[in-house]
């Protein structure tokens, strides 16, 4: 867990930190705008929310990401992702989260919402064109979002409709044959500006940074990503507002990412696909005509078709000759969700106990259906031993679940500077499952979570808080052949206490937020695996087990400083010590071992310069510690650092920028498997999926009113 101080990137990060004080400046009272957390029920500011939260605004997203949310992950303290698939869709916050695709029953630990539409566990659709903000709430959000937010929540908000008529056209081109075109525009529909809209559309294509030497192609891991967003806002009066959001996303990416020599050169003869086509909508009503209370209704719907396939042997006939070794795996999934949330919150006149206490109560109902069809095919023949085997495994399952939750919050002013908060959520989930292996199950359970928080204003611009929370995650069952006694697994409970500060200093030019936390996970759910048949790479059995207990100790801090009108500095850091206290796994006692995909540190720092004449430049440095790839083996990644840069010129109505990601072409791994995949002896070997190499391009944008 030591930083490599000989690294040029770490040296650059240290230089930025040391050089910062040399920029003398007069504080700008309006430098840092008040940031609203829209994922919170009451949409409070970051400083008012007694929790550790990161908010990336539209400007930061535009300057830091080229295409997808995965390009922003390393900026956020204690957030990591598993590269199991082409795009990031499995996230870990403070070491809590899934690593690979689920079987049978979706049961994510990290909530992922786009405009209130639930894409938890299938975050592939998170393209970043025309996005207003990305919010990451760390720690259990049990009282707000229930069982799907055990470790935290990621909330993406699209650009909102406004009365001002405006739009933009964006063209991006780069190496890897990257090309993207985006269009967004909106404004008022009627003369009195009570109805406004915004629509955006974007298409991105690139080759995917791999070359398949066997097929002589460089696009087998290619990206073909399209998204359309539509927003409509209607405000007929000062007390009523309706918002409609519609999202269509078509991610049709190839999947050819694992090489036998852990390089960017592929040898597969049947490259796979990682595709997700999703349609979603949310309809929100806010009504505040009553004196005592306001009413909010949120209705959502989402439909996703997911196609995930891969060449399971990662080779071709020439790779294994004279042995015949040829396996493929394909999964097709359909997922539908529909939800209704209704909440009532106090207005000023409805506050309790002499006007000191705000209250909120609500009801949430979600119906989820998930269908899976999996086909695993393969042939094996070893002429030396005259041994032959074949695989034709076809599996289908249907899962449905109904979750109903009652929740409430109280926020009480103890005095003018101190506030006490309570939150409670009780959730009942009933399920039904059946599959072609004749397994039928219908477990149901009632769970609860909540929080108690205390915050105190120490003076203008400085607030501290302490928060005790309990999160929960539903139990379930495992499919297929599993070790004895591990067919079912129990509900997990996460207790956490954290304390921190929120500050706005130097006349609003400097913001510093920091938190320290400790968490205990009881009956921790752990996803592990083993290979049923040596020589059959498609015979891995993934199952969920309960570790008796896990613990996490950590800290995170975020600094943002407008040094002058031209210079901005930021520095984000996370420290994490996440381990199993007790866990007797099939492969042995893992008590005391670090948890998977839980790096000891995450660091991001950067500087941005903007001249009044329009020239701008930006440098970003991120660093991440080594981490275990999985629970089923002891193989680890290597610590790595990445350097990103952007320079350009912005006029009144147009923008030109040159950008580079991973400028120093660092080679790093985002996922690792350890198993035997090379005949005839099949020695256990670490196979890694590499992150994207250096990517350079240009973006041109034209804005119009």
What CATH number is attached to the domain comprising 255? 2.40.170.20
Dist CA 565 CA 443 (whole Å): 59
Dist CA 653 CA 589 (whole Å): 62
Indicate the burial class of 234 (C-beta count within 10 angstroms; 0-12, 13-18, 19 or more).
middle
Six token digits for residue 16: 């930025």
For residues 56-62, give the mean pLDDT.
93
pLDDT in tens, 595-632: 999 999 999 999 999 999 999 999 999 999 999 999 88
Q: What is the number of structural domains in the chain?
A: 1
On average, the pLDDT of the chain sits at 90
For residues 163-176, give the mean pLDDT.
96
Cβ distance 252 to 124 under 8 Å?
A: no
Strands 152-158 and 110-114: parallel
Dist CA 513 CA 515 (whole Å): 7
Q: Is residue 300 part of a domain?
A: yes
pLDDT at 15 over 90: no
For residues 41-69, give the mean pLDDT.
92
Shortest CA distance to 359 belongs to which of 345, 343, 342?
A: 345
Residue 579: pLDDT band (50, 70, 90) is very high
pLDDT at 32: 62
For residues 686-694, give the mean pLDDT.
96
For residues 673-684, give the mean pLDDT.
90
Q: What percent of the chain has pLDDT over 70?
A: 92
The per-residue DSSP string of 255-306 comes to E--B-TTSSSEE--SS-EEEEEEEEEEEEEEEE--SSSEEEEEEEEEEEEEE
For residues 649-653, give the mean pLDDT.
94
Q: Is residue 132 part of a domain?
A: yes
Cβ distance 465 to 502 under 8 Å?
A: yes
pLDDT at 168: 96
pLDDT at 293: 96
For residues 1-16, give the mean pLDDT.
43
Burial 175-205 (b: 16+ CB within 10 A, else e): ebebebebebbbbbeeeeeebbbbbbbbbbb
pLDDT at 21: 37
| N- to C-terminal Cα separation, the chain | 51
| Number of other CB atoms surrounding residue 696 within 10 Å | 15
Q: Is residue 1 part of a domain?
A: no
Q: Is residue 2 part of a domain?
A: no
User: Angle at the Cα of 683 (from 677 to 688), degrees rounded to 5?
Assistant: 55
Cβ distance 187 to 196 under 8 Å?
A: yes
Q: Is residue 3 part of a domain?
A: no
The range of the structural domain enclosing residue 262 comes to 8-701
Shortest CA distance to 556 belongs to which of 574, 578, 577?
A: 574
pLDDT in tens, 330-352: 999 999 999 999 999 999 999 99
Q: Which whole-number Å values give the CA distances from 275 to 86, 272, 309, in the listed order?
A: 9, 10, 9
The per-residue DSSP string of 568-593 comes to EEEEEEEEEEEEEEE-EETTEE-TTP
62 three-state secondary structure:
helix
Q: Is residue 328 part of a domain?
A: yes
For residues 263-272, give the mean pLDDT.
96
């Amino acid at each position: 867990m030591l930083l490599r101080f000989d690294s040029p990137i770490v040296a650059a990060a240290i230089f930025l930190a040391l050089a910062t004080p040399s920029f003398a400046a007069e504080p700008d009272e309006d430098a840092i705008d008040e940031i609203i957390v829209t994922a919170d029920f009451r949409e409070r500011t970051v400083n008012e929310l007694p929790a550790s939260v990161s908010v990336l605004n539209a400007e930061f997203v535009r300057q830091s990401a080229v295409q997808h949310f995965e390009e922003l992950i390393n900026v956020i303290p204690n957030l990591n992702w598993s590269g199991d698939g082409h795009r990031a869709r499995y996230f870990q916050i403070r070491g809590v989260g899934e690593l690979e695709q689920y079987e049978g029953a979706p049961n994510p630990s990290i909530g992922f919402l786009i405009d209130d539409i639930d894409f938890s566990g299938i975050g592939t659709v998170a393209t970043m064109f025309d996005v207003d903000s990305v919010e990451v709430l760390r720690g259990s959000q049990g009282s707000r979002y229930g069982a799907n937010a055990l470790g935290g929540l990621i909330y993406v908000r699209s650009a909102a409709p406004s009365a001002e008529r405006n739009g933009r056209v964006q063209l991006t081109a780069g190496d890897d044959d990257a090309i993207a075109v985006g269009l967004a525009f909106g404004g008022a529909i009627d003369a009195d500006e009570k109805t406004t809209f915004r629509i955006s559309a974007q298409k991105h294509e690139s080759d995917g940074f791999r070359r398949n030497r066997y097929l002589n192609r460089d696009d087998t891991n290619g990206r073909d990503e399209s998204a359309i967003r539509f927003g409509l806002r209607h405000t007929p009066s000062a007390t009523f507002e309706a918002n409609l959001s519609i999202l269509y996303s078509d991610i049709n990416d190839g999947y050819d990412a694992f090489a036998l020599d852990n390089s960017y050169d592929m040898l597969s003869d049947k490259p796979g696909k990682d595709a997700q086509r999703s349609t979603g909508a949310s309809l929100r009503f806010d009504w505040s005509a009553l004196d005592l209370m306001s009413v909010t209704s949120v209705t959502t719907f989402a439909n996703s078709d997911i196609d995930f396939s891969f060449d399971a042997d990662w080779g071709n006939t020439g790779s294994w000759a004279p042995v015949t070794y040829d396996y493929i795996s394909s999964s097709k999934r359909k997922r539908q969700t529909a939800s209704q949330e209704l909440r009532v919150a106090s207005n000023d006149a409805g506050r309790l106990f002499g006007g000191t206490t705000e209250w909120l109560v609500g009801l949430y109902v979600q119906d989820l259906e998930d269908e899976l069809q999996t086909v695993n095919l393969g042939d094996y023949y070893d002429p030396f031993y005259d041994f032959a085997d074949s695989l034709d495994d076809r599996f289908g399952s249907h899962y449905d679940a109904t979750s109903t939750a009652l929740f409430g919050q109280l926020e009480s002013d103890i005095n003018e500077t101190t506030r006490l908060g309570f939150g409670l959520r009780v959730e009942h989930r009933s399920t039904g499952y059946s599959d072609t292996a004749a397994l039928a199950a219908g477990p149901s359970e009632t769970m609860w979570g909540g929080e108690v928080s205390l915050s105190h204003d120490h003076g203008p611009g400085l607030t501290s808080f302490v928060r005790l929370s309990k999160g929960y995650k539903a139990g379930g069952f495992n499919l297929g052949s599993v070790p004895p006694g591990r067919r079912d697994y129990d509900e997990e409970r996460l207790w956490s206490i954290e304390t921190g500060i929120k500050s706005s200093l130097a006349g609003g030019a400097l913001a510093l937020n920091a938190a320290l936390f400790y968490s205990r996970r009881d009956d921790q759910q752990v996803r592990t695996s083993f290979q049923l048949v040596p020589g059959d790479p498609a015979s891995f059995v993934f199952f969920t087990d309960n570790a008796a207990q896990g613990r996490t100790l950590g800290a995170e801090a975020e600094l943002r400083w407008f040094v002058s009108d031209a210079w901005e500095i930021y520095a984000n850091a996370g420290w994490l010590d996440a381990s199993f206290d007790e866990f007797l796994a099939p492969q042995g006692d893992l008590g005391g071992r670090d948890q998977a995909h839980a790096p000891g540190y995450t660091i991001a720092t950067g500087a941005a310069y903007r001249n009044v004449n329009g020239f701008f430049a930006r440098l970003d440095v991120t660093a991440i510690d080594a981490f275990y790839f999985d629970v089923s083996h002891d193989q680890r990644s290597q610590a790595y650092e990445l350097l990103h840069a952007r320079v350009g010129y912005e006029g009144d109505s147009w923008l030109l920028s040159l950008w580079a990601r991973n400028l120093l072409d660092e080679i790093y791994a985002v996922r690792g498997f350890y198993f035997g995949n090379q005949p005839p002896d099949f020695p256990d070997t670490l196979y890694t999926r590499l992150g994207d190499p250096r990517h350079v391009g240009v973006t041109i944008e034209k804005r119009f009113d």
